[in-house]
Amino acid sequence: MTRNEMIYHRKSCRSFTGVPVDAAMIETIKAFSLKPLYPEIKVRWDIVPRNQVKCICPWTTPQLITIYSEETDGWLENVGFLFQQMDLYLQSLGLGVCWLGMGRMNLKTTTEVEGMKFVIMLAFGHPKGDQLRHDLKGFKRKSLEQIADQLDPRLEPARLAPSAVNSQPWYFTHKGNNIHVYCSKKGSRLDVGIALAHLYVANEEAFRFFKAENPPAVAGFSYIGSVTL
């Protein structure tokens, strides 16, 4: 399946064979290019063995992707945007993936590299059996009505995006051709970056992200940015 098709079938995987991903596939993954939301923000990611991280999940995989970023405006949504592209890519290769907000770097390893802070990790590996969704009923998500001011079918890929504890903190308003994007005040901006990645992968050519001059205010939400699709 393509990355775009994976949007409608993906699922966090928490059951793996435990067989490490082989060196050739690791090289393929490392070569995959990710588009940033903010190209100026420094980000680093590594594929590390399990003993370099600390995670209470018993199912954690033999290899994980650890993500570091410069801490600056937009860094969290940038990380969500970049690595949801990786989530879809890994699943398009037939691998299972799960974001791991609970994961930490092992105390023996570093939580800061070249001025960048550890943000989050992704567990990935060979899934045990078929872990994908086969229809939209498998997604427990808010309705379009709950996440936007208009029933805009172009927002369906964002609606289906994963988020920490399935919180779905995103909201969208429309003005002319622009779709303005918000994060609930208690929500994580990283999750909103994930939803934006789904809009990008579903509209790879047309997707544009920018900060609008006077975006409409939405009570209880912070403005993240705007897109045209």
Ligand X SMILES: Cc1cc2nc3c(=O)[nH]c(=O)nc-3n(C[C@H](O)[C@H](O)[C@H](O)COP(=O)(O)O)c2cc1C
* Residue from 43, 158, 194, 201 in contact with ligand X (CB under 6 A): 194
Measure Cα distances from 197 to 123, 162, 177 in Å.
19, 11, 19
Binding of ligand X at residue 187 (CB under 6 A)?
A: no
The least distance separating ligand X from the CB of residue 22, rounded to whole angstroms, comes to 25
Binding of ligand X at residue 11 (CB under 6 A)?
A: yes
Between residues 139 and 215, which has the closer beta carbon with respect to ligand X? 139
Alpha carbon distance 190, 171 (integer Å): 14
- Collect all residues with Cβ–Cβ distance below 8 Å to 188 and sequence separation of at least 6: 76, 80, 163, 164, 167, 169
Between residues 116 and 190, which has the closer beta carbon with respect to ligand X? 190
Binding of ligand X at residue 102 (CB under 6 A)?
A: yes
The least distance separating ligand X from the CB of residue 124, rounded to whole angstroms, comes to 13
Q: Which stretch binds ligand X (CB under 6 A): 26-34, 43-51, 97-105, 176-184?
A: 97-105
DSSP three-state, residue 62: coil
Question: Phi/psi of residue 135, each to 5°?
Answer: -150, 170
Binding of ligand X at residue 99 (CB under 6 A)?
A: yes
Judged by CB under 6 A, the chain residues 136 through 175 that form the site for ligand X are: 162-166
Between residues 190 and 227, which has the closer beta carbon with respect to ligand X? 190
Binding of ligand X at residue 191 (CB under 6 A)?
A: yes
Q: Per residue, what are the HEC states of 96-128? A: EEEEECCCEECCCCCCEECCEEEEEEEEEECEC
Alpha carbon distance 97, 94 (integer Å): 10
Binding of ligand X at residue 190 (CB under 6 A)?
A: yes
Between residues 65 and 100, which has the closer beta carbon with respect to ligand X? 100
Q: Shortest CA distance to 210 belongs to which of 194, 196, 221?
A: 196
Alpha carbon distance 202, 44 (integer Å): 25
Between residues 114 and 135, which has the closer beta carbon with respect to ligand X? 135
Between residues 20 and 101, which has the closer beta carbon with respect to ligand X? 101
Asked if 196 and 181 count as a contact pair (C-beta separation under 8 A), the reply is yes
Question: In the complex, which residues of this chain contact ligand X (CB under 6 A)?
Answer: 11-12, 14, 57, 98-102, 162-166, 190-191, 194
